[in-house]
Structure 1
């Protein structure tokens, strides 16, 4: 009877997880669809810099979120553990401590945010854009951040109950309403740069109320009160999440400051162009991150069991499969970049956007497959070297970019390309040899996998470019056909050139299962 109940519970968890994944993908696709239609409209009606300022405001919020990341990133983990151990007192402590810390941080940061918004034209270069509109844009984005920060603790209940599908459903409804409201505003009123962020604030307020109601429904016994605040709970969350903060600092130094640097040292228009060029590469990077995360569990289990031979076999297989899956959208996009941007952003230079997009995600050419090596850092619990070198690489990126902007005419290309080059050098000189050291292998053993990834990208680009030359895409329907043909041809050839029989079967089985 117990085993039957346990099987039923496990099956229920699997179903919930599948629903979580499906709804999460739907939200991602829907949001990308909104961006696909809204971005060119903003660029056409308000100019390139308008789209750039929207992205820049979001980047400023990401800088501010570093302060809260250390404990907020781990709050759901500690709350979930306490809840499933029936430690309700511990749940109340972590819940209340997280909320009170967020309140304190909001109270401290709010005056600085207001001062920065007031002096915004002295902090960044605005030029031809309406200064007041840009200030309203930043005000809305920061308001959205503070409201989301205070309400984030309530959404943890959906994580604890493995009911992220509820949160994803809320996000889907929000995205739909976001699209509807934007259509209404842009149709009935003269376009303003802050419309997108204004709608965002309104919807955040509405759905915060919904999240609170859901929290009370899922976890009615949990209360947030001052008397539950516990300094030791905060200390534990900070101690566990500090590496997340440091790693995020490295990420900001590597790519998170590119729009700020472009705005201050090049021009607001160039900033807007770079923001557009990063749209599709960001989606590809998200795909790579998702794939990398799916490879993590089996690698961690094999590391825990001490089975190094099986670990290396799984790692090699995972790297080849990742090389195929990531390189195809990356190279197909690069091959059809000029055609795509000519149709999507007809008012901008399609060749410039294509080159900037390639420079932005260039690091994935040799690292589309070997990115799976990063999972070993977590499996071995050896995060310090990876995190420290990432931060140092980010700092080096800022220094070199600044020098290039001051001493050369590369301009925006220096901003887009420097971080990618540094990431490639870091992966080759630090990540690959250090992972080999942790696995007690020869230091150069993973260079073969970087070569396979590079050759895979080159092969897919040649295939796609040949199709682009034969069937010239000057309309959306022709472009879609070209892309589908390129994907099918690249995937079919990669299956037999890159993968062996066992890896082909594994990849096909995984696709069928998904």
Structure 2
């Protein structure tokens, strides 16, 4: 009960973060597209993709850092936890120096790697450079997120993210409103917001880890070797995810056009805002699973993972169904000031749904992914994902060469392959590792998909009685549909006992207030 209460508190904080992120994606994307055009806008997200490529060099160390710090800290081994903490920070500073040198050389020759309109070369180069500098800021600050993870106080990180996102929004609006539009404004604002995040997480660490300071005497290369050994397979997994989802804009730029790249980038904004929120939930759930793992009880681990799957389904299925059913109407209002034709609106809608399906598949197995990290068994999972990603890339290239599917081949192939891998293979393997029947997680996952189908059908029926002339009518109708959806989700997903527990937690919070 205590575990669930802490998880729910962290989730409510994460939901606020989700709301802020959705608001930013909601008003920011058409605002920037209107100022820059879809081609220039596409380069902003392409820069972020390249940053994700570069950040892979740090994954092997950082992916398991919070896990090891948490296990040692919660086992009472504070000195070992401090050693991991300091070793990771010092290693990240060294990596940042290397990445910065390579990124400067890369940006210098960028126009020979990516197709860039001549008039945008300088702006795009500066955008990439600022993005790489911001990556370094995030890298150095990674270790400062471990305190909230270790203590289960993830809502502190959510508060920092909210403040950072608000500052980022104000900066972007101010730069575009008061100065001539430039591509690099978004990267500049993101860098400043990243510095705010670094400072905020540092303060959180000082609050939660009172006696944890960066001390070079605690640096231990053997600790890094432990992290590298465990994190290597997480690195392989991240490379797989990059091959599955991170090359779409680059392929669009290389094989189709920078304009289509911009259109795909726009179609990804709302789904990716949900994906970012999903990442926040992942940290919360991974923290909870790691604590349960320390109790050495597989039954509790399975129960916790299934509970987390249900919570993810509860919170995310309604927005997913809303995008599927009301997404086209949303796009017509959202991009009303652009020059897109009806055919282009349909294209953006279908691309958005293809990207969304990818995220839905990941959502309904996200806590299962955290199991592999919690029990430190990521090798086979990573190999399976790598094979899937190679098949996905090969299939995409064949479809681009031999068919006229174009951008749909880029956006859709990974969704199909990821669906089978994440939906069928991964849950079965997780169940096997926990010595449970292979259908242990399939049942909960299947229930999630059934609930999505039910909510979509209900929303489709309700939509027949709605009209979307303007934003006011749209939001009123969406709020009504959302309320109906969440009531249905609560009824469909949770057992009778789980409903009682959740209601008692909410009542307890209200009484305390």
Which residue of structure 2 aligns with residue 48 of structure 1?
Answer: 38
Deviations 1:264-321 (A, max 9, x none): 12221111111221222223345556667777758957994455xx987887776566
Displacement of 1:342: 0.8
Q: Give yes or no for the alignment of 1:58 onto 2:48.
A: yes
Displacement of 1:175: 2.9
Contact (CA 8 Å) 1:263, 1:270: kept in 2 or not? yes
CA distance in 2, matches of 1:195, 1:287: 24
Displacement of 1:108: 2.4
Q: Give yes or no for the alignment of 1:68 onto 2:90.
A: no
Matches within 5 A, 1:204-243: 204-205=194-195, 224=214, 228-243=218-233
TM-score, with structure 1 as normaliser: 0.82
Query: Secondary structure of 1:470's match?
Result: coil
Query: Secondary structure of 2:394's match?
Result: helix
Contact (CA 8 Å) 1:88, 1:222: kept in 2 or not? no
Query: Secondary structure of 1:328's match?
Result: helix
The match for 1:404 among 399, 402, 405 is 399
Contact (CA 8 Å) 1:97, 1:234: kept in 2 or not? yes
- Larger-Rg structure: 1
CA distance in 1, matches of 2:367, 2:143: 32
Which residue of structure 2 aligns with residue 481 of structure 1?
Answer: 476
Between the two proteins, the alignment pairs up a number of residues equal to: 502
Contact (CA 8 Å) 2:365, 2:423: kept in 1 or not? no
Matches within 5 A, 1:118-157: 118-127=108-117, 130-153=120-143, 156=146
The match for 1:359 among 348, 354, 357 is 354
Which residue of structure 2 aligns with residue 273 of structure 1?
Answer: 263
Matches within 5 A, 1:5-404: 23-79=13-69, 90=80, 93-127=83-117, 130-153=120-143, 156=146, 167-205=157-195, 224=214, 228-286=218-276, 297=288, 304-305=296-297, 307=299, 322-323=312-313, 325-346=315-336, 347=338, 348=340, 349-363=344-358, 369=364, 373-374=368-369, 377=372, 382-404=377-399
**Bigger CA drift: 130-139 or 26-35?**
26-35
Matches within 5 A, 1:458-473: 458-473=453-468
Deviations 1:94-139 (A, max 9, x none): 4443333223323322232111111111111123761110011011
- The higher-RCO structure (CA 8 Å, 6+ apart) is 2
Displacement of 1:140: 0.8
Q: Give yes or no for the alignment of 1:431 onto 2:426.
A: yes
Q: Give yes or no for the alignment of 1:418 onto 2:413.
A: yes
Deviations 1:428-468 (A, max 9, x none): 55234435545666656766655544443232222212222
Displacement of 1:383: 3.0
Displacement of 1:336: 0.6
Change (3 A) 1:438 1:15: closer
Which residue of structure 2 aligns with residue 6 of structure 1?
Answer: none
C-alpha RMSD of the superposition:
4.1
TM-score, with structure 2 as normaliser: 0.82
**Bigger CA drift: 107-116 or 424-433?**
424-433
Change (3 A) 1:60 1:17: same
Query: Secondary structure of 1:474's match?
Result: coil
Change (3 A) 1:443 1:404: same
